Amino acid sequence: MSDMTLESQHSQPIAQRRIGLVFMLRQDPFAFAAVVVLVLFALLAVLGPTLLGDIATSMNLRARNAPPFELERGFWYLLGADALGRPILARVILATRTTLLIAGAAVLLSMVVGSVLGLIAGYRGGFLGDAILRLTDIVMSFPSLLLALVVLYVFDPAITNVIIVLAITRVPIYLRTVRAEVMEIRSRMFVTSARVTGAGPVRLIGKHILPMVFPTIVTIMTLDFAFVMLAEASLSFLGLGVQAPNVTWGVMVAEGRNYLSSAWWLSFWPGLAIALVTMSLNLVSNWVRMVIDPVQRWRLEGKGEK
Amino acid sequence: MKKMIRMTGASILALAAMWPALGAAQDTALTIALPAEPANIDGCNTTVTGIGVIVKENIVETLTTISPEDGSIQPRLATEWEDIGDGKYRVSLREGVTFHDGTPFDAEAVAFSIERLQSQEISCLDRTKIAGIEITTDIIDEHTIEIGAAPAQVLMPTLFSFIGVVSPNTPTDALSRSPVGTGPFAFEAWNADGVHVARYDGYWGEAPQVSEATYVFRGESALRAAMVEIGEADIAHDIAPQDAVNPDIDIPFLNGETTRMRIVMLPPLDDIRVREALNLAFDREALLGTILSDRAQIATQFILPNINGHNPDLEPWPYDPARAQQLLDEARADGVPVDREIRLVGRIGFFPNQEEVLQAIQQMWAAVGFSVRLEMMESADWLRLVNRPYPADREAMLIQEQHDNNNGDAAFTMRFRYHTDGQQSEMNNAEVDRLIDTAEQSVGEERTLAFQEANRIIADEVIPAVPMYHMVSYMRVGSSISYEPNVLSLIQLELADITFN
Amino acid sequence: MARHFAKRALWSAISLFALVVAVFFMSRMTGSPADLYLPLDAPTEMRVQFEHLHGFDRPVYEQFFSFLGDLLRFDFGMSLRQGLPAIDLVLQALPTTLLLAFYSITIALVVAVVTGALAAWRPNSIFDRIATVLSLIGASLPNFWVAIIGVIVFAVTLRWVPTSGTGSVAQWVLPIAVLALRPAGLIVQVARSSMISVLSSAYVKTARAKGAPSRRILFVHALRNGMLPVITVAGDQAAGIINGAVIVETIFGFPGVGKLMIDSINYRDFAVIQAGVMVTAIAIFLMNVLIDLAYLGLDPRTREEMV
């Protein structure tokens, strides 16, 4: 089923496919907007810190908690200022790179490790499968604060350690999801002929299992992105993670916590950035999935023909 | 399952118990919102912030108390005391006093409490205040006791204010979560809703207006403030400056805490010019009324003005970045590695908005050419840096500290932090050592002057720190009651001082 | 089946043991409780006495063996901070946390599965778009933010519910709503995604072609098959609440396991950490067993795999 899809797509001339993609993207305003947002944030991540200089880090106590949408302090103060009078707009931009780097690395790492282990546990089963599963039970029950403290005490508070701590705590969800799906698909495979016709495990996983598991995994990933960005902030407060003057959206949201009842904008804008990225990733992944899935593809193409 | 049913039962009971409180016309029951639930409320932990605020002089009374105004010693359970030499004091005890459990208060009870305080079976935190001192008792008669200290203590009457007297029926092998004392309020219950106390009818003194009180624990400053705003609580303790938006009910008070940054005097901070530059480049005024309350005071030393030994002649550091830069340049020219990165180590949870404060100071220092890296640390991690013995491979750094000397005398600060053998001292100054030694053994003016001179040398000649502020807390007090917070209110909030409007 | 569960129980016992060992040694890598329990200006002499009193001056392996010995008698030792048996503290806090987890996950599941299924029925429809945006916002809002804004809006401004506390039913509304939000947002997306796959599968298309009523196809055939990942994710979220509804418990003054654990970790109250991890682990293990049972119920074909 799904392997046929892939093959039929491969057989299309590449150029034609590319035109089709852009065309289809334009037809879906949500997906289009999402791609624009992601490209924008990617640009900010690459260029932001160099373009900003020290606008985002120099304090100005007279502008402390300055409200948004007042232009007399200049463009950078459009979104207001934080508790040290630093322009929030500039800080959101400054934080983009570190935020996306940490969250992206942590999510990818947990996804890859979790999925591989989940595939093994689901496909092989037996002793190894049991061992892997019980290991996730342990990880799920281990207090993440304790884990963070151990890392803090034993290792240096480097950003890679933050990524590892975050990734470890998120591995179980991918692992369990993939395993459950693999078991289900595998049992279905007994009924169908794939096994009988002598397909090897690699082919089986690649052609039958991954395409089925992938949409769910991607959905969880996009949502985990938001979670990881926020969780990272709590590590920063322990001293593990980014330290001033470096900043992330999660840290900004958390710093604004104490001002929620008096200056909502401190945590609102970075929170909005987190929500925007999460939402865009999700919309794009939904769209990509529809493009790949022939059963759904008509919805995009059909609209175009009208 | 049984547990759940029991719990639901308990909630229904609690709900039922709330009705009369809601309906009563002359309602003198209070709810007080505190930031954190204490581990225990034992009568031998009264000097600890979250515990003392509930227990001290409400449930458990001490032999003497310290006046929040001038630091003088006032009688409480002890009515009179007399130095009879040899480190001993003869103390007369108040008569006609009974514990909440009906046991009479007498010399036996005092001896019991002192023995319990020093017991090796439990870790009484008030022992910190009498560390290195052995206290002995001699019962003369029912209401007279001789209390001795080895080595002899000049400040004996002050030490009496750390001795909470608990009922002789208190367990000696465990800290108590249901203290029994002689105070105007008796402990009732400690459950999911908080700690409940009720007026004790057999109290020896004047009956307080408050009939009962519930202490609830809410970590969020904004939520505590909101509880008073909508009438769920009568007092919100320790709210952040940004939540103190209503001057009618949000009362600022010096809370007895002083903050500073300790300087680990290794290169480049071993050069006094560099330490001066740190002080000169820090615009202390700028943080007042912005990140910190405008009522906080700029500190010149680590003790408050009401403490004996505070030197009133010391001037706050001026803000002079040009001079700071000049000093740095001079030091650099002499080969001092002033461009080396210096760690500024903060500890989580000293006071509201502290990370902003540290970031602001970091920026001010960066402006004159210091390269300071801010690191926030969790308590245990931070503690590894502050206590002797210090690691051999120590580097220059700045350590954020906060200290409360609520005991009326500089002795509770000086040796520990400035004497060569002090556990958290960075100093090695013969003159300061001599002055501290002298002061500790003297009384009256001689004591005061010696401490003041030591503080002058420390501030002007050694500069082992960047003094910051005498801190302010805000208390939100509901409009139906009156309470005037004072310098002790963070560790001692007497319900008897609360009146109804 | 019986053999399967016997095997599972054995495995769980082994992993519980591994967990306890890991927690025992790892918690002791994070500093001495004396530093945290005693005041900042406590003299060294008091620290030494404190460590001696509680046996922290003994070699770690010796502490470990005496801990194991006590554990066999189901004795976790006394809480350092509170002076009460550690296990009692945990069991006291557990019902609150389990109830919070149960209510919030149940509500999240019901709301989210229905929403997700309807959204999947017609991807990119108006309903789908609205559901997607709302659920993504729900999933990306931090708990403390929702909690504090919730208090400001519903308790202070509208005065519908009390700000905090555990006494009455009204006091449970905000905490449960806050806790349900993120799981709900997540599950809507997972359910939607999984349902789209199922709806495009051959056998649903057959059912559609045969003219089965849409509602029946959606809520009976497809939902049943699309539930696998939903249950996995719901389980993960429930586990998260069981061992870490800290923010909600602290803000609203709910004395649950999350708050107890955070306090214990912050103060290095080892006995309570160990008891807490053990009890929450058992709860999470049992929940995972339930989840696996649910897999069986949903898809009889996995049964032969599990057994």
CB contact under 8 A, C167 and B11: yes
- What single-letter DSSP state applies at residue B501? -
Of B192, A151, B123, B51, nearest to C259 by C-alpha is B192
Residue A289 near residue A218 (C-beta atoms within 8 A) = yes
The answer to whether residue C106 neighbours chain B at the CB level (below 8 Å) is no
Q: What angle do CA C8, C13, C14 make, to 5 degrees?
A: 100
Mention every residue, 6+ apart, whose C-beta is less than 8 A from residue B80.
Answer: B91, B92
> Do B222 and B245 belong to one domain?
yes
Give dist(CA B345, CA B466) in Å, integer. Answer: 13
The pLDDT score that the predictor gives to residue A6 is: 39
Q: Is B456 helix (H, G, I), strand (E, B) or coil?
A: helix
Q: Report chain B residues whose CB lies below 8 A from the CB of A261.
A: 222, 225-226, 242-243
**Does some domain include residue B210?**
yes
Token code pair at residue B424 = 């958290």
Cβ–Cβ pairs < 8 A, chains A and B: 69
The answer to whether residue A237 neighbours chain B at the CB level (below 8 Å) is yes
DSSP line for B194-255: EEEEEE-TT-SSPPPS--EEEEEE---HHHHHHHHHTTS-SEEEEE-GGG---TTTEEEEEE
* Each residue's pLDDT expressed in tens, for chain A with a length of 306 residues: 333 343 444 445 555 555 567 777 777 888 889 999 999 999 999 988 878 878 888 888 888 888 888 878 788 888 888 888 899 999 999 999 999 999 999 999 999 999 999 988 888 778 888 889 888 888 888 888 888 888 888 887 778 888 998 999 899 989 988 888 887 777 666 545 555 556 666 777 777 777 777 888 888 888 888 888 888 887 877 777 777 778 899 889 888 888 888 888 998 999 899 989 988 988 888 888 777 766 556 555 544 333
**Does some domain include residue B49?**
no
The pLDDT score that the predictor gives to residue B26 is: 55
Torsion angle of C-alpha atoms C194, C198, C200, C202, degrees rounded to 10: 160
> Do B97 and B141 belong to one domain?
yes
End-to-end CA distance of chain B: 47
The pLDDT score that the predictor gives to residue C166 is: 83
The pLDDT score that the predictor gives to residue A215 is: 81
Q: What is the mean pLDDT of chain C?
A: 84
**Does some domain include residue B22?**
no
HEC states along A145-205? HHHHHHHHHHCCCCHHHHHHHHHHHHHHHHHHHHHHHHHHHHHHHHHCCCCCCCCCHHHHH
Query: pLDDT tens, C127-173?
Result: 988 998 899 888 888 888 888 889 989 999 999 989 888 878 888 99
HEC states along B259-278? EEEEEECCCCCCCHHHHHHH
CB contact under 8 A, A262 and B242: yes
Average pLDDT per run of 10 along chain C, which is 307 residues long? 78 88 88 81 82 86 88 85 88 91 94 90 86 88 87 90 86 92 91 82 71 72 78 88 82 87 88 91 86 74 45
> Do B436 and B378 belong to one domain?
yes
Token code pair at residue C277 = 């991890």
| All structural domains of chain C with their residue ranges | 86-304
The pLDDT score that the predictor gives to residue A185 is: 73
Which of B222, B291, B355 has its CB closest to that of A261?
B222
The answer to whether residue A154 neighbours chain B at the CB level (below 8 Å) is no
Domain final residue, candidates B131, B165, B199: B165
ipTM of the complex: 0.86
CB contact under 8 A, B381 and A260: no
Give dist(CA C148, CA A266) in Å, integer. Answer: 14
Best probe of the C interface among A123, A128, A219, by most C CBs < 10 A, is A219
End-to-end CA distance of chain C: 6
The pLDDT score that the predictor gives to residue B1 is: 40
Give dist(CA C277, CA C270) in Å, integer. Answer: 10
> Do B280 and B339 belong to one domain?
yes
Residue B65 pairs in a beta bridge with: B74
Mention every residue, 6+ apart, whose C-beta is less than 8 A from residue B127.
Answer: B44, B117, B118, C46
> Do B355 and B405 belong to one domain?
yes
Q: How many CB atoms lie within 10 A of CB B236?
A: 31
Distance of CA B107 to the CA centre of its chain: 29
Give dist(CA C204, CA B496) in Å, integer. Answer: 74
Indicate the length of chain B as a whole number: 501
The answer to whether residue A239 neighbours chain B at the CB level (below 8 Å) is yes
Its domain, for residue B154, covers: 59-165
Give dist(CA B350, CA A21) in Å, integer. Answer: 56
Domain count, chain B: 3
Torsion angle of C-alpha atoms C144, C149, C151, C155, degrees rounded to 10: -170
The pLDDT score that the predictor gives to residue A10 is: 45
Q: Is B349 helix (H, G, I), strand (E, B) or coil?
A: coil
Give dist(CA B421, CA B413) in Å, integer. Answer: 13
The pLDDT score that the predictor gives to residue B14 is: 45
The answer to whether residue C158 neighbours chain B at the CB level (below 8 Å) is no
Q: Report chain C residues whose CB lies below 8 A from the CB of B123.
A: 37-38, 46, 49-50, 53
For C163, which residue in chain B has the nearest alpha carbon? Answer: B227
**CATH code for the structural domain at C86-304:** 1.10.3720.10
Of B501, B407, B485, B217, nearest to B493 by C-alpha is B485
Residue C236 near residue C108 (C-beta atoms within 8 A) = no
CB contact under 8 A, A262 and B374: no
Residue B346 pairs in a beta bridge with: B376
Mention every residue, 6+ apart, whose C-beta is less than 8 A from residue B72.
Answer: B66, B408
> Do B318 and B430 belong to one domain?
yes
Q: What CATH number corresponds to the domain at position B485?
A: 3.40.190.10
User: How far is it between the farthest Cα atoms of chain B?
Assistant: 77
> Do B477 and B463 belong to one domain?
no
Query: pLDDT tens, B114-162?
Result: 999 999 888 888 988 888 889 999 999 999 999 999 888 888 999 999 9
> Do B370 and B494 belong to one domain?
no
Residue B31: CA count within 13 A, CB half-sphere: 20
The pLDDT score that the predictor gives to residue C301 is: 52
Intervals of chain B under pLDDT 70: 1-26
Token code pair at residue C42 = 């406590």
> Do B159 and B247 belong to one domain?
no
**Does some domain include residue B133?**
yes
Q: Report chain B residues whose CB lies below 8 A from the CB of A145.
A: none
| CA-based radius of gyration for chain B | 24
> Do B345 and B312 belong to one domain?
yes
Residue B473 near residue B252 (C-beta atoms within 8 A) = yes
**Does some domain include residue B53?**
no
Judging by beta carbons within 10 Å of its beta carbon (0-12, 13-18, 19+), is residue B98 exposed, middle or buried? middle
- For B58, list phi and psi in degrees, rounded to 5: -95, -60
Mention every residue, 6+ apart, whose C-beta is less than 8 A from residue C73.
Answer: none
**Does some domain include residue B44?**
no
Of A45, A91, A76, nearest to A250 by C-alpha is A91
The pLDDT score that the predictor gives to residue B468 is: 97
Q: What CATH number corresponds to the domain at position B383?
A: 3.10.105.10
The pLDDT score that the predictor gives to residue B498 is: 94
Q: Name the pTM for this structure.
A: 0.86
> Do B226 and B291 belong to one domain?
no
Q: Which H or E element spans position B141?
A: strand B134-141
End-to-end CA distance of chain A: 29
The answer to whether residue C143 neighbours chain B at the CB level (below 8 Å) is no
**Does some domain include residue B5?**
no
**Does some domain include residue B12?**
no
Q: Which H or E element spans position A16?
A: helix A14-27
CB contact under 8 A, C46 and B15: no
> Do B215 and B284 belong to one domain?
no
The pLDDT score that the predictor gives to residue B6 is: 44
Judging by beta carbons within 10 Å of its beta carbon (0-12, 13-18, 19+), is residue B261 exposed, middle or buried? buried
Token code pair at residue A222 = 């996009």
CB contact under 8 A, C50 and B120: no
